Every structure is written in structure tokens, then in C-alpha cells.
Amino acid sequence: MKKLGIAESFGIDRVIKPVGTVPVTAWKLDASRELRPDEARIKLKYFQMERDNYQQIASSCNYEDNKMKAKIMDLVEKRGKLHNPFTNSGGVIYGTVEDMGEVYRQNTVLNIGDEFLGMTSSTALPMHVERIVEIDHNYAQIELEGYSIVFCNSLHYGGELEHIRYTMTSIDEEGTLYDVYSLAKPGMKILVIGKDLVSAAYYLSAVRKAVTRDCKLDLVFDYECIENYDFEEIKKVMKIWADSVTIVNLGEPIKAMEDLGDEIGNKKDLVINCEDIKGSEVLTVMMAKNNGTVFFTSITNGYSIATLISGSLGKKLHTRELNQNLRSYSRFTEELVKDNILQLDEIDNIYQNAEAGRSPSNRRQFNIIQNRVFQIDDFIYMSPVTDHMIEEALNLAKYDCNVIIEGETGVGKEKVMEILHKNSSRNSNPCIKVNCATIQENLAESEFFGYEGGAFTGASREGKKGYFEIANGGILFLDEIGQLSISMQSKLLRVLQENAFFRVGGTKQTNVNVRVICANNIPLQTLVDQGKFREDLYYRLNISIIVVPPLRKRPEDIICLSEAFLTKYCNKYGVEKTLEDEAISALSSYQWPGNVRELENMIHRLVINSKEDVIKSLEVESILHGRVYENVMMKLRSEIASGNSLDFEEIIIQQEKKLLEYALKKEGTTRKAADFLGITQAKFMRKKQKYDIN
């Protein structure tokens, strides 16, 4: 058997960008079909999405299958792997071995045609998807066609694959399931905070496998988790393992603790938290006894926050978090699935018999928002995508390093900067905000570094401090840093390297201690590639990057922000107005190219222009549809104005294309769009195909 090097074992030579990284951290992988000697190609049949990956994509697409399929296909095509950048997660693959390189063949027991269930995350594996057949929302599983490339050291499941649907759902949990099995001891009082029916069943059965009936085992669900299902049926299944099954609102952990304390007590020896909802980490700590153990099954469900909470309460706890997947756990997981196949089938029946659809109604969304709105300083949000970004910002705040904040215009980059400042060690020192786009080139140096008296014509005799001096000891926020000239970028680089500079016209060196946070609406890496931004300055600034997602990628935030802006402007003008459900729906379905700034402007206009106390959807839609046409026509006028001469035929073609796009965007279907334009649907379809309109 050939001894393999690092590059061969883990596919480093498949990395396209950035070169020199490993596949799991790379932005893009080479997903070409041709095999290297140390690789195998898996013909894909199913894909098990990690839960946070599924929730982010489903939520951003309003649980619409076609939108989700398109989003996943686009993600794989752009990155050469299924790796969600917003949640930094993927999933695992299942299929059959289609072909193997010679070295891989020598290092495996697999044969061509064998089943293959991966245990290595798809974030590390090249993938190409030809078609997504179906999405199973209950299990977060995708049926698809395509292939994935695996490497010699890519882990795969070693057990039987008779019950593939259930086995796939267990893969993500199997390391932690074994840990729970090891932690459970006879006589313990144990609480499981479940996130879904199947995973709850796995954790409950792991405890019972360890101690049979010799422990007190209770199960708690958040009300949102199970509200679409028959609770009596859920209790009937779960009572096979659990002594009690209770529903609480994890968004109100203190009340939940009081309710549970009355029913099941709050002195638990072991609390197992499977949930990602904020508030679950508080309940976990509160329900555990002093010197008890709390176990977190995910790195996203509050492990670090729970540690802080327990310290603030003076409660000593043993904290455990997820374990990694290893081949040795396969047998244990296989036994769990086999032992509980009848109960898993019953849970599957509950899923299939669910009365409500997957996508929550607008009123239900609103009610959830009311209970689950989070606020960090002035930043209001509800979306899990935003929550992930905020947690990243709070983590970076405590490290005194440079940070780049990227995001489209109007997403709230300055708000994120304020979070960094207020939660950093420099929060009592100044935070100086500079819009680089407004600084004249001939004044840039004196603005940043100041000048001595009489340094140039018109200079003050007393001289002037520059931005760096004013921000000394604090933070300097450089908004739209990409607008600075290459010459000014060179001078900025020197200051960042030496923490010192000379004023314009000065001979005395000034030393400063400044943390630089910068923002740009175009990724700086793109400007580097275009030669518009210095690469050495980019790497000096790029200690860490926070990407603020556009509003269309976090639709839950549209509702809570709309309510916040509505309250703001109602208070300003001394009125009381509300948004009807259909108005909320109209706001949620719009793409918001101007992001939060555009949404605030919209709500401001609605408060002023609406004559009734209840703002109707018709009022919202009239403004939105007007904007769609304005956007189309403004873009057309801009294109015409930029040319040296006019091409009549080209103008007519572009006008026709824009009108078709506008009609389709406004009406939603080709039939309605054709009626709107007064043409037949067949004619509309021909022109749509002619202009390649999506």
C-alpha cells in the first residue's frame, strides 16, 4: 500500500482559490470529472444537508422548492462544492462508486458499484450537480443527479445501509450520540432539548441504551419546532424513551424554566441541548444542577454563551460540546437505527400526515418575530443568517485586529462597525468615521495625517490633527476604502506597518495606536484582481472579513425591521399605524436592491402617504411596482447617455427587453405578463427566449 502525502490525501491540488489553502476553507474547488490517481468519483443519489445550511437556504427562498433548487445549483456551480458561506456548513453525500484512480483503489476496500455514504463534509469535497430531483423538507435531504470527488482520507460510513434515510440523518450526530451514551449513568436526572423529532429520538434512545429505565429522562421541544404536527402522536412515540414531553417557548427561557421547574424540576445531572434557537443556552444552564454537566450537540447552539452565563450565576458546570465523526462510531449508530426502526417509521408517518405546509403563514411569521426579535445595540434582527454574522462580529470585537466589512450598499455595514467598537476594549475611546468617497484627492494626505501650520497655501497657522491622530487609542472606520487612490493607499499601508507618520509639512514623527476597520460595497479582493487596490494593503487589512448579507438573503429581518421602522416614524409624527398581513407579505417578497436603507425609506413613505390607520398591501405594491419601472427606465437612460452616438435599433431592442423584464417581474407569470402587455403568451414566450430572460 502506497504511503500518501498531504496533498494526495486531502485533495489540496483541487483548490482553485485561494491557492495554498485546504479544500474545506477554500472558496472554490476544481470539480472537473477527470480523476487523479488518489481520487474516486461518486455518482450522487442523495445529499443530507446540515440543519443550519437547510434552514438558511429554505428560509431565504420562502421554502419554495424551485427557488431552493436554483440556489443550491448556483452555490455548487460557483464554488465547485456544496458549501454555504452564510452558515459555513454543507452536508454529506450518498451514492455509488463510479470510478477510482489507481492509488485510491490500492488504499480502499471499496469496489466499483458499491454504496458510498460519506462522513466527510461536502465543504471539503469537489461536487458537480446536474439536476436536483426533489427536496425532502422533513429530513433536509435532497435527491439529485451528479457526482462528487472523494480522496483517500475522506471518511465514509462502514455500517449497513439498509435504512438509508434514517442512517443519513444520524451521520451528523453519530460522534455526539456516542458521547451522550458515555455520559449517561444510572440514577441520573437528564433533560434533552430537542430540535426535531428524528434527532430527539436518537438522543433519547442513546440514553436509554446506556441506562435502560434507570434514570429520569425528560424531553422539551420549542413550540415552533412541532406546531405543524399532532402533539399527541409525538408524545405517544417519544414516551417510549422519555418520562415526559413538554412544549415551551425557548425565546423566553426564564418563563420556560419556571414552567418546567413546576413539572419536571430543574436540578438535572445532565442537560443535552440539540437546539440552535437563542434562549436554549440559557435554559440549558438554568436547568442543570450545580456541578452538573451540559452537553451541546452543535458549535452554533450557544456553548460559549452558556459558559459565560454559568459564570455570571456562580454555577459550576461541566461543559461538553460535539465530537467529530470517526469510523469507530458507525457500528453504534447502526445499532441505534436498527433498534428503533419501528419508532422511526412512526415519526415518518407523523411527518407525512402533517396538516400544515412547510412555509409559515405571514401572521405566524409575525408572531414568531414578536417573540424572537433580537437586538444588539441598535442592530435589530431575527434571521439565523444575521445571527451568524452578529456572533462572528461579537467574537472579533474582543480581538484588537484590523477588520474588513463587506456588503452591498445599505445593508448596515456601519451598524456592524458600531457593534465592533462598543464590544471592544477600545469602547471608551473615540471611533472616527471617514467616508473615503467624499475626500478630494489633493486633500487626502492632510485629512488623514494632519498638517503643520503654514504647510501649504490656505493652511491654518495652528496646524490641524488628521484622522489618525484624532482616533489615537480608538478605532478609525474607513468607509468605501476602495475609493482611495493608489497613491493614498501606499501612504496608508506605511502607517499601518509602522504605526507612525509625519504630518504634511512636518519633521517630527507622530506615533499612534489605532485599530482600523474598513468597509466597501465591492469586495476588495475583486478590486485587487482588477488592479484598483493594492494587494499588500489588502493583506494588511484582511485579518478578518465580515460579510453583511443583503436583505434578500435574510427575509425574516424584513418583517422585524419593518415593524421597527413603523414604530420609529409613528412616534416621530404622533400617529398609530399598523401593517396588514398582506402588506407584510408584499414587503417580504420584494428583493430590496437598496437593502435596509431602501426599506426604511419605504416605511417612511407609507406612514406619511397612507390615509388609514392600517396600511394596505395595495399601497405597498403601488410603490414597489412604480420602483420596478423606475429602476428599469433609469438604467436604460443611463445606458443611452453613456454612448457617444445613438443606435436606434439597439435602443428599441433594449426598450423591448426592459419592458418584458418589467412585466414579468410585476406580474410573476408569463401568462399574466403577456396580458399586461397586450400580447399573446406565445409571443411573449418567443421574445423571452430571444432575449434570454430568466
Please state the domain extents for the chain.
6-156, 171-352, 384-547, 554-690
CA distances, 453 to each of 42, 48, 357, 442, 461 (Å): 71, 67, 71, 17, 4
Identity of the residue numbered 384: P
Number of Cβ atoms within 10 Å of the Cβ of 254: 11
SS (H, E, C) 72-113: HHHHHHHHCCCCECCCCECEEEEEEEEEECHHHHHCCCCCCC
* pLDDT band at residue 213 using 50, 70 and 90 as cut-offs: confident
CA distance 600 to 620: 13
Residue with the larger pLDDT of the pair 260 and 302: 260
Omega before residue 23 within 30° of 0, cis = no
Cell reading at 56:
438558511
Other C-beta atoms within 10 Å of 344: how many? 24
The strand pair at 545-547 and 189-194 is best described as unpaired
pLDDT at 688: 86
Fold annotation for 384-547: Rossmann fold (3.40.50)
Let me know if domain 171-352 sits in CATH 3.40.50.720: yes
Contact yes or no for 259/273 (Cβ under 8 A): no
Contact 13, 36 (CB under 8 A): yes
Residue 73 makes CB contacts below 8 A (sequence gap 6+) with 129, 132
Average pLDDT, the chain: 85
Q: What is the pTM of this model?
A: 0.60
Confidence of residue 319 (pLDDT cuts 50, 70, 90): confident
Q: Residue 134 forms beta bridges with which residues?
A: 143
Give the closest residue to 273 by CA, choosing from 305, 226, 229: 305
Nearest to 242 by CA among 279, 276, 280, 206: 206
Least confident of 65-69, 165-169, 278-282: 278-282
* CB 194, CB 274: distance < 8 Å: yes
Q: Please tell me the predicted confidence (pLDDT) of residue 599.
A: 94
Choose between 642 and 486: higher pLDDT. 486
Do 554-690 and 171-352 have the same topology in CATH?
no
What is the average per-residue pLDDT within 465-472?
94
CATH architecture observed for domain 554-690 = Orthogonal Bundle (1.10)
Q: What percent of the chain has pLDDT over 70?
A: 88
pLDDT band at 568 (very low <50, low <70, confident <90, very high): very high
Query: pLDDT at position 216, please?
Result: 93
pLDDT at 527: 93
353-404 pLDDT, tens digit each: 874 444 443 333 433 444 467 777 778 888 888 888 888 888 888 888 999 9
pLDDT at position 197 is 92
